[in-house]
Amino acid sequence: MRFLLTASAELPACLDMTKIGMLGTLASLLLAPVGSADWFQFRGPEGQGVSMAKNIPLKWGLERGVAWKKKLPGKGWSSPVIGEGKVVMTVARQEGEEVSLGVVALNVESGELVWKQDLFSPGAAEVRKRHSKNGLASATPYLEAGVAYVHFGHMGTAALRLSDGEVIWKQVFKYPPVHGTGSSPVVVDGKLIFNADGASDPVIVALDQKKGEVVWKTPREQKVKKTFSFGTPLVIEVDGRTQVISQASGKVAAYDPADGKELWKVLYGEGYSVVPRPVYANDTLYVATGFDRSSLLAIRPAGAEGDVTASHVVFKEDRYIPKTPSFVEKAGYLYLVDDTGSLTCRDGKSGKLQWRKKIPGNFSSSPVLIGNKLYLATEDGVVYVTEVSPSGVEILFELEMDERIFASPALIDGALFLRSEENLWKIGG
């Protein structure tokens, strides 16, 4: 079972395909449901950073309240995902010119390693040009019915059996990266979809979920100076129709998952290097437009066709808008933290700023909301638990974890999972 946010092939030359003879196994696994308590994709079950988990700790120490802390066999900024009793993350190891990209699964109760699988060994030239804040394993996996889908951008994509890590298929879709990779994949209607927005010819790509073959790829087409971005698509339903919302440099657009046709678009000029995932609530799509100065746009997708920049944008706000962290919505209000620590609340109908509080530190990790408790982590590893409402914010707890944190938290009943540069922490549980 999956959550859908509602308001109500010819192989290209760039594809290096390696098939592993597990397709029959994959077909049977796709029939199995995944529990609603799982945190199976970037930003949780609905991809919105909002959790219904119960009994999440409000306070802990470096040892007090920590169920376990495990050193990972590699580094990475991908966020942990949880399913079938396992915590899954991508990892990268580099020793000189030797690079290995892989995935690990830990037991959710004990933290012990269940399996580890090495997948790709890109050349040094492929990994050298990346942003100083970026790593080699930045895209968050997606778990679907017994399968873990992992993505390393231009360096490779794979499907693995969640029970034991056996490779089902893997392939490499080449494109010229800028600053590394970051777009996480989504699964919808039998397809694994991801953005491939590099230095030139940006596209959105759909692979066959069972085989890994390219089903469709759609060019972005908008004319912008800097074509690279790192957004993660969001699947929503509008007017009874499934749409894949995908941001790129200069625009946000909706695509038909069946064939990749662009359904509608909103243009936002030269905005590039877009990272925050869109938020969809109360029939409104909220997007942040990236660098150099990020804006917040509210868009009404109902009835949208073609270029709706002039007709379907409800409001635009330019102050204290994140370039990297995604944001959350509750009861008609948005809660955002920008890269330099301005925590704000905005009215989701008008965009009006309700309040602003400066939190010390810089932020790349996206916040998560449980009830009225907002959890945040700075790049330097200071974790904050705050209580938020349209009328204000109170800091309830803060702790220096003594490690850098760029990954976003994951939650299940009774436990909070935090990935630092080298370790995974289970708080509570």
Mean pLDDT lowest among 132-136, 190-194, 245-249: 132-136
Which DSSP state fits 39?
A: B
Paired tokens of 258: 């069946």
pLDDT of residue 129: 66
What CATH number has the domain bearing residue 144?
2.130.10.10
Choose among 319, 316, 312, 314: nearest CA to 338.
Answer: 319
pLDDT of residue 25: 40
368 pLDDT more than 50: yes
pLDDT of residue 23: 41
pLDDT band at 4 (very low <50, low <70, confident <90, very high): low
pLDDT of residue 285: 98
Q: What percent of the chain has pLDDT over 90?
A: 72
**Averaged pLDDT, 200-224:** 92
Q: What is the pTM for the complete model shown?
A: 0.89
pLDDT of residue 58: 97
* Sheet containing strand 328-330, strands side by side: 328-330, 333-337, 342-347, 353-358
Give the chain's domain count: 1
Most distant CA atoms of the chain, gap in Å = 57
User: What does residue 294 show for φ and ψ, rounded to 5 degrees?
Assistant: -80, 140
Mean pLDDT lowest among 9-23, 148-162, 262-276: 9-23
Instruction: Calculate ∠ Cα 181-17-158, nearest 5°.
Output: 50
pLDDT of residue 154: 86
Average pLDDT, whole number, for the chain? 89
Its domain, for residue 100, covers: 5-428
Paired tokens of 58: 């409000």
